Amino acid sequence: MRILVAVKRVPMTGGTIVLTPDARAIATQHLGFTISPHEECAVEEAVRLVEREGGESVVLTLGPPEAEEQLRDAMAVGIDRAIHLVTDEEEWDGQATAGAIVEAVRAEEASSGPFDLLLFGNESADAGGYQVGVRVAHALGLPCVTGLKGIEVRGRLVRCEQEVPGGRDVFEVPLPALLTVKEGLNLPRYPSVPGRMRARQRPIARHEPQRPPARLEKLRFVVPEGERKEAEILGRGPEAAPKVVELLDQLGLLR
Amino acid sequence: MSVLVLCERRSDGIDEPSLQALAFARALYPGTSVHALACGVAADEVAPLLGAYGVETLHVAEHEVFDTYAPHAVARAAVELAGRLRLHALLAGGSEQGNEVVARVGALLDLPFAANCVAAEAGPPLRVTRVRWGGSLLEEALLHAELALLTVAPHAVAAQETNDGPAAVERFAPALDDADLLVRVRERARAAGGGVTLADAKVVVSAGRGAGSAEGFAPVEELAALLGGAVGCSRAVTMAGWRPHTDQVGQTGTKIAPELYIACGISGATQHMAGCKGAKRILAINTDPDAPILESADYAVIGDLHDVVPAIAAAIRAARNEKAGAE
């Protein structure tokens, strides 16, 4: 089977978020970057499916030139090749992102044949727009199931599991389909050293799509004023235990 | 002009995020008539409830597909209804379902969609404040559209009763084709009951990288059991394969709301804190007095969880024995 997996480069923010002086971005000069968590699982799932069923996996991202790092990361764990929709540093809204991905998928399918499965993250860790996969599916006329923690391909059908309070909801749709997934779908593997070496040789096709005017237009970011607390230090080491028990008793949690 | 709020049903009526979206819509467009769409509900039961939350007209979409959850069909019904009403905005609660359905409406109508808004000012263009990074960052943005599509972040506003009478009911059968019916729940697998769930636990005891290994969770499990609580963990722990993802607290894990959250050996990255904002009190146990989690914690013990947690467990047992002896 042929699988496309779409990923997004996001910063690893750590303990506090610091903004650039114009408040239009996160200051990232001291931060590392990663594939957004849900999509790390999408990459792993694509690799496992191709290992089992044969075929080819392609990773796609829309992002700045530096996002090549995340494409190489995906290829280091077994994705065959990559498509990079290269942008400037400006962030694209969900509609514009989906539009560019749709064009790229159509071009790719025209040259290399149709995909059986397209995997997206349910929402990105940073923007949290909840929409790119859904929009791409609609434009391509594909059925779309979202927020999945279980995927099982059975011939030309795919059984999909969503986690809901108290259990799981099961959907079943025919291939080709677009699925959006969540972390917990699987446990992504770490790249091996030979994997990293191989990833350097694998091809990346680059395109530079034109950014349309944003219809969800970002003005600025604000770091919410969290209630910054002064934690009451109950003690150091095991000697603090009686103070903790006192606290538990006060809270009515000892009964 | 009016507003339309998509209301998600629950076994005992309408879910809380939808009721919050109704309050948000009424505050955004005061005096505007409020319509609600609910799919596959018993109108007689829901109309009084929604009326009490300020809904003038409840539109009930009827089709056998709505016997179960069918997000694309719901979006189709919403688009059909939106075509008949003159709307400023279409809203839903910022639940998984609300975000999914409004995204589908956005795709069908080729309109922008702002997910998880905490505030908005009427336009045009509508000015919204929405959450990013699971609530660690806010974005102010303009929504350039004739019809604004948005969801309301959970707990951004409280549901608000107006004590109005029952909503007027209008039933309709939306035009749905085979493709619209494809995406629907075929089967509900329910987990065996019993045990305290992470989302509902009154006490959650979590550990992070500081646990050191899967075996390092033994004292954490012991303390959680003593307090009748649930065990949690950070993302570093699930990525290392020490605990299942179902134990993960955070932006991409479970959101918890216990009376007390005991976070052991957890530094307090923003993604983790996004999952425990609902905790009433936080006790951090950490070797590092400068760990970011101490800025969000109410209480702290400075020390290694492997020394501190067993000592707490022992002290709880001693205190209980003493009480039992006194009685």
ipTM of the modeled complex: 0.95
For chain B, positions 195-254, list CB contacts with chain A under 8 A: 199, 202-203, 227, 235, 238-239, 241, 245-246, 248, 251-253
Residue corresponding to tokens 């075509």: B83
Other residues' Cβ atoms within 10 Å of the Cβ of residue B274: 20
B194 has a pLDDT exceeding 80: no
Residue A166 touches partner B, C-beta closer than 8 Å:
yes
Token couple for B248? 């993960």
Give the mean model confidence (pLDDT) for residues B277-286: 95
Any chain A CB within 8 A of the CB of B114?
A: yes
Query: Which pLDDT belongs to residue A128?
Result: 97
CA distances B174 to A4, B60, B205, B313, Å, are: 34, 10, 48, 59
Q: Which two tokens stand for residue A112?
A: 């290399």
Statement to judge: residues B101 and B24 lie in one domain:
yes
Amino acid at B253: G
Interface of B with A in 33-62 (CB under 8 A): none
Q: How many domains does chain B have?
A: 2
Q: Can you spell out the DSSP letters for A41-56?
A: HHHHHHHHHHHHH-SE
Note whether A27 contacts B: Cβ–Cβ < 8 A: no
Q: B34 CA to chain A: closest CA distance, Å?
A: 24
In A, which residues are within 8 Å of B107 by CB distance?
Answer: 98, 131, 134-135, 137-139
3-class SS at A247? helix
Q: Check CB contact of A22 with chain B, cutoff 8 Å.
A: no
Is A145 in the B-facing interface, judged by CB distances under 8 Å? yes
- B53 CA to chain A: closest CA distance, Å? 25
- The reported pLDDT for the residue numbered B327 is 67
Q: Which of residues 207-246 of A touch B (CB under 8 A)?
A: 213-224, 226-229, 231-245
Q: Is B85 found in the same domain as B166?
A: yes
- Give how far Cα A118 sits from Cα of A6, A36, A155, A167, B258, Å: 8, 17, 16, 25, 38
> What strands lie across the sheet with A144-154, from one edge to the other?
A204-207, A81-86, A56-63, A2-7, A117-121, A177-181, A144-154, A157-164, A167-174, B187-190
pLDDT score of A201: 95
Are B144 and B243 within one domain?
Answer: no
Nearest CA in chain B to A125: B133
Taking only residues 157 to 196 of chain B, the set having a beta carbon closer than 8 angstroms to any beta carbon of chain A reads 179, 182-191
B259 with B227: CB under 8 angstroms? no
Regarding whether B138 and B73 lie in a shared domain, the answer is: yes
What residues in B contact A171, CB-CB < 8 Å? Answer: 183-186
Q: Please report residues of B whose CB lies closer than 8 A to that of A99.
A: none
The CATH number of the domain holding residue B176 is 3.40.50.620
Amino acid letter, B202: K
Please state, in angstroms and as integers, the Cα–Cα distance from residue B51 to each residue in A61, B34, B77, B81, following that order: 46, 10, 21, 19
Nearest by CB to residue B190, choosing from A131, A134, A166, is A166
Chain A, window 173-212: residues with a beta carbon less than 8 angstroms from a chain B beta carbon? 173-174, 182-184, 187-188
- Among candidates B169, B155, B148, which has minimal Cα distance to B50? B169
Domain of B97?
Answer: 2-181
Shared domain for B158 and B235, answered yes or no, is: no
Residue A158 CB coordination number (10 Å): 23
Lowest mean pLDDT among A212-221, B64-73, B97-106, B191-200: B191-200
Q: Is A123 part of the contact surface with chain B (CB cutoff 8 Å)?
A: yes
Picking from B105, B129, B139, B147 by the largest number of A CB atoms within 10 A of its own CB, the best residue to mutate is B139
Q: Choose which CATH entry (3.30.230.10, 3.40.50.620, 3.20.20.70, 3.90.1150.10) describes domain A2-207.
A: 3.40.50.620
Other Cβ atoms closer than 10 A to B94: 28
Which of B128, B147, B181 delimits the end of a domain? B181
- Percent of chain B exceeding pLDDT 70 equals 99
- Residue ranges in chain A modelled with pLDDT below 70: 227
Name the one residue in this structure whose structure tokens are 């839903």.
B92
pLDDT at B240 over 90: yes
In terms of DSSP bridges, do strands A9-11 and A33-35 run parallel, antiparallel, or are they unpaired?
antiparallel
User: What is the token pair recorded at B170?
Assistant: 């209008």
- At B26-59, the pLDDT tens digits run 999 999 999 999 999 999 999 999 999 999 999 9
**Lookup result for tokens 């002086």:** A21
How much is the CA Rg of chain B, to the nearest whole Å? 23
Contact B285, B265 (CB under 8 A): yes
Domain assignment present for B258? yes
Q: Is residue B109 part of a domain?
A: yes
* Mean predicted lDDT score pLDDT of chain B: 94
Closest to A152 in 3D by CA, of A181, A193, A191: A181
Do the domain assignments include residue B186? no
Enumerate residues 6+ apart whose C-beta is below 8 A from A203: A81, A82
Ramachandran quadrant class, A131 (left: phi over 0; alpha: psi -120 to 50; beta: rest): alpha
| A129/B115 CB distance under 8 A | yes
pLDDT at B164: 87
Task: Identify the band that residue B189 occupies on the pLDDT scale cut at 50, 70 and 90.
Answer: confident
CB contact under 8 A, B133 and A131: no
Which one of B118, B149, B181 terminates a domain?
B181
Which tokens in the block code for residue B276? 């425990």
Cα–chain center distance at B43: 25
Q: What is the rounded distance in angstroms from the CA atom of residue B242 to the CA atom of residue B239?
A: 8
Question: Alpha helices of A5-131 — where are they, by DSSP H?
Answer: 37-53, 68-76, 94-112
Question: Are the beta carbons of A236 and B301 separated by less than 8 Å?
Answer: yes
Which residue is it, tokens 């990288």? B209
Q: B270 lies in a domain? A: yes
Q: In the prediction, which pLDDT does B192 show?
A: 67
A50 within 8 A of A1, measured Cβ to Cβ: yes
Q: Tell whether B217 and B255 lie within a shared domain.
A: yes
- Does residue B273 lie within any of the structural domains? yes
Chain B partners within 8 Å of A158 (Cβ): none
More confident residue, B65 or B197: B65
We report the CATH number of the domain holding residue B288 as: 3.40.50.1220
In a domain, B13, yes or no: yes
Write out the H or E segment, with its range, that includes residue A4. strand A2-7
Per-residue pLDDT reduced to its tens digit, B80-138: 999 999 999 999 999 999 999 999 999 999 999 999 999 999 988 999 999 999 889 99
- The owner of tokens 């610091």 is A18
B252: chain A residues, CB-CB within 8 Å: 37-38, 125, 182-184
Does one domain contain both B25 and B167? yes
Name the residue in chain B with its Cα closest to that of A159: B186
Peptide bond connecting A165 to the previous residue in cis, omega within 30 degrees of 0: no
Q: How far is A135 from chain B, CA to nearest CA, in Å?
A: 5
Closest CA to B246 of A147, A170, A185: A185
Distance between CA atoms of residues A46 and A43, nearest Å: 5
Cβ-based neighbour number of residue B288 at 10 Å: 13
Q: What is the mean pLDDT of residues B184-190?
A: 91
Domain annotation covers residue B81: yes
The packing angle between helices A193-201 and A68-76, to 10°, is 130
Closest listed residue to residue B157, CA positions, set B8, B54, B18: B18
